[in-house]
Amino acid sequence: MGKKPRTKEENTFAPLVAVLAASLMLLQLVMYPLMADVYALPKATFLSVATLLLLFLYFRYAVAAQKFTIYRSPLDTIVLLYVATVTISLLISDQPLLGLVGKYKRYEGLPALFSFAVVYFIAAQTIRDEKSLERLLKILAGGLIPVVLYGFAQAAGYDFPGVLLFENRVQSSLGNPILLGTYLVVMLPLLFGLGRNSSQPNWRTLAWLLMPALFANILLTESRGAWVGLVASMVALFVLGRPPSTPRAKKKRRDRAEQGRRIRGIYIIAGILIVLIALFALLPTDNLEKRFVSTFAFSEGSVSTRIEIWKASLSMVADRPLTGFGLEQMGYWFPLFKTERHSKIAPSAVTDRTHNDFLQTAVDSGLLGLLFFLWMIIAVALSLYRGRRATPYAAALFAALTGYFAQAQTGIPAVFMTPLIWMFLAVAMNLSGQSRATKVKLPAWLRSPASAYAVGAVCAALALASFLPVAADLRIYKGQQAAWESFKMVAPEMAAPDIESALRLYPYQTAYSKIAAEFYLDYAVYAGNDVFAQRAALIAEQGLAFNERDFELAYYAGEASLLSYRFKENPLSLARAQDYFEMTEKLWPQLNFIDSKLLEVAVLRGDNEKALAKAREMVGEGQQDVQAYYVLLAEARRLDDSEQVTEYLKIIEKIQPGFLERTEGR
């Protein structure tokens, strides 16, 4: 009996499965070493273009079909509520532009969130059965091959010129060992599902051969969160992956074919063990034991730092429990909540991620956003658990999601991983039978081909606009490369055109303003030219217009104004320097060197009262600043306090020998 032919309606959106799978597979591989942002920006741009293409294709096929089916599940409402909550939280935040532009080298703002939602919707409509899921997994498995090979090349010491490794740990094309570990932890149980359930021997063999390569790469990332996720996914796979028990009466001796499969399985396992032994004999693994032991060192190292980050993050949630701070804004508020211990162990660290997905959601969008986020996860987990016998891939999906959320307790989200997870959430609901079909007929004004062309034109325009940050980043990279040569030749014109071009192309990304301000500030010091100092101050001020909470830009504006005063002795420049240094101090109270700058400005302005108050404050905080003690020395001399004079002279000489000889004659 032949197969029942599928209807036209059932085949309407079938090509989207391949497009979606190829997009998510290529997303992991996209990188460009000749950019300032090698990884995140290329991936974020590719994701934007891919989702626009998916939307256009979906609409085009819908117009061609005119009548089609939309599949809805209970998860859809939760996803919409989550997206709406995060969007509203951003729009009412202090700096909504930050969430629209995206944090530099992160890009997980509102455009990314909408892309995740598009991926979820397309997956919900197209990946509805095991055959579609298996086709998707095959494409993703093919994309794993260059990822793991690149990882092994890095472990052996080979990489693209200019690419910097993260503490000599394997990161492949994902730019961070934590992110590589996250991706492989998700894909490992899915490969297991493909190897166990695929009807095609070649794909089963590829899956089994890739699994040890993934396992080796996970270890080589030295990501302790990924190791935890790996253990969690294996436990989940064991719990849900066991075959259902059958009555003894029904148990029969296996036939020859089954025995043959068992023997082949033994050969595969033996081959995997041999491959693993060979890999670890050839690749450097000396640091693995140290990393494993450090996992349990809660009072030192990165574990201690993350505990302090979590404490500060909880304080942030308590400060804004309902609305949160908005997407991509944590780093600009974190200094106000930084714990005392964190300030001691990492005084200059700028923390823009909580290293915990649940805490990150609460910081970004408040407890309401966290509620919907948890609701999404729990709804899918329950659906997979209840339908664990309905499909052989349910256990693999459950294990993949378990591994992801286990590692997410110490990991970081990524613009290339989140769409993959949202896709699997939609697929899980489909396979568990939770979705319902709704017949849709497009209105007459949408059924004409002209409407498809109009939507295509809009998508094309948005896709082209998404390349503006890429063009600016290429300019910044070119300017940074030229800057090294320009300093040697005292020729700023070699780098300035490219840096200025980046600012014109995309002024909203304040990271470019910081790079440009630093370039001109360094040149002002190097060449002793006030024009460069004033240009640095102007660029920093323009950047602050887009992000008034950027403490680095505030500092550059103050430093450039102070330098300009030294060149021209313009009192207005000195007043501006004081304003911007005070702004920096307000944005990041723990920055001790700002105290020194404010003290210097007070001395230059002849404000003895303010200088004395600042010097006493600095000494009271234990700062070993020679200028502060010199101000106190001058006050002690004015008061004829010989005992204090002697004490301060000793301290100054101890901190900076020879300082008094260079200063007293001025």
What spatial distance separates the first Cα and last Cα of the chain, rounded to whole Å? 103
Q: What single DSSP character describes residue 242?
A: S
494 — pLDDT class (breaks 50, 70, 90): confident
Over residues 147-199, the pLDDT tens digits come to: 999 998 888 888 887 777 766 788 999 988 999 999 999 999 999 989 888 88
In the three-class reduction of DSSP (H, G, I as helix; E, B as strand; rest coil), residue 661 is classed as helix
Rounded alpha-carbon distances, angstroms, from residue 481 to 34, 116, 574: 10, 35, 33
DSSP codes joined into one string, 245-308: P--GGG-----HHHHHHHHHHHHHHHHHHHHHHHHHHHS--TTHHHHHHHTT-TTSHHHHHHHH
CA distance 374 to 394: 20
287 — pLDDT class (breaks 50, 70, 90): low
Cβ atoms of 13 and 2 closer than 8 Å: no
Cβ atoms of 192 and 211 closer than 8 Å: yes
CA distance 212 to 205: 12
Enter the tokens of residue 637.
């001399």
Q: Where are the beta strands (DSSP E) in 287-365?
A: none
CA distance 664 to 656: 14
Please check the confidence at residue 617 and state whether its pLDDT lies above 60.
yes
Residues 6+ apart with CB under 8 A from 373: 82, 357, 358, 361
Over residues 510-547, the pLDDT tens digits come to: 999 999 999 999 888 888 889 999 999 999 999 999 99
Residue 472 or 285, more confident: 472
CA distance 273 to 629: 66
Residue 328 or 663, more confident: 328
CA distance 195 to 202: 9
Residues 6+ apart with CB under 8 A from 626: 652, 655, 656, 659
Please check the confidence at residue 262 and state whether its pLDDT lies above 70.
no
Cβ atoms of 178 and 223 closer than 8 Å: yes
pLDDT at site 6: 46
What percent of the residues of the chain are helix, what percent strand, and what percent coil, each to the nearest 5?
Answer: 75, 0, 25
pLDDT cut 70: percent of the chain above it: 86
pLDDT at site 8: 45
pLDDT at site 244: 46
CA distance 408 to 423: 17
pLDDT at site 501: 94
Domains of the chain: residue spans and CATH: 8-243+262-444 (no CATH), 468-664 (1.25.40.10)
DSSP codes joined into one string, 539-606: HHHHHHHH-TT-HHHHHHHHHHHHHHHHHH--HHHHHHHHHHHHHHHHH-TT-HHHHHHHHHHHHHTT
pLDDT at site 411: 83
CA distance 102 to 394: 35
Please check the confidence at residue 130 and state whether its pLDDT lies above 80.
yes
663 — pLDDT class (breaks 50, 70, 90): low
pLDDT at site 1: 38
Over residues 408-451, the pLDDT tens digits come to: 888 888 898 999 999 999 999 988 877 788 888 878 777 788 88
Of the ranges 52-56, 206-210, 361-365, 503-507, which one carries the lowest mean pLDDT score? 206-210
pLDDT at site 565: 93
Write the single-letter amino acid at 351.
T
Please check the confidence at residue 256 and state whether its pLDDT lies above 60.
no
Please check the confidence at residue 7 and state whether its pLDDT lies above 60.
no
Enter the tokens of residue 363.
């910081």
Enter the tokens of residue 150.
């690149």
Of the ranges 136-150, 206-220, 311-325, 342-356, which one carries the lowest mean pLDDT score? 342-356
Mean pLDDT value of segment 245-254: 43
Mean pLDDT value of segment 308-317: 93
Cβ atoms of 469 and 476 closer than 8 Å: no
Of the ranges 32-46, 455-469, 480-494, 641-655, which one carries the lowest mean pLDDT score? 480-494
On whether the pTM is more than 0.85, the answer is yes
Over residues 332-371, the pLDDT tens digits come to: 999 999 888 888 887 777 788 998 999 999 999 999 999 9
Cβ atoms of 135 and 198 closer than 8 Å: no
Over residues 567-615, the pLDDT tens digits come to: 988 899 999 999 999 999 999 887 888 989 999 899 988 888 888 998 8
Listed residue (584, 633, 627) closest to 602, CA to CA: 627
Mean pLDDT value of segment 127-138: 89
Cβ atoms of 226 and 407 closer than 8 Å: yes
Please check the confidence at residue 266 and state whether its pLDDT lies above 60.
no
Mean pLDDT in the chain?
85
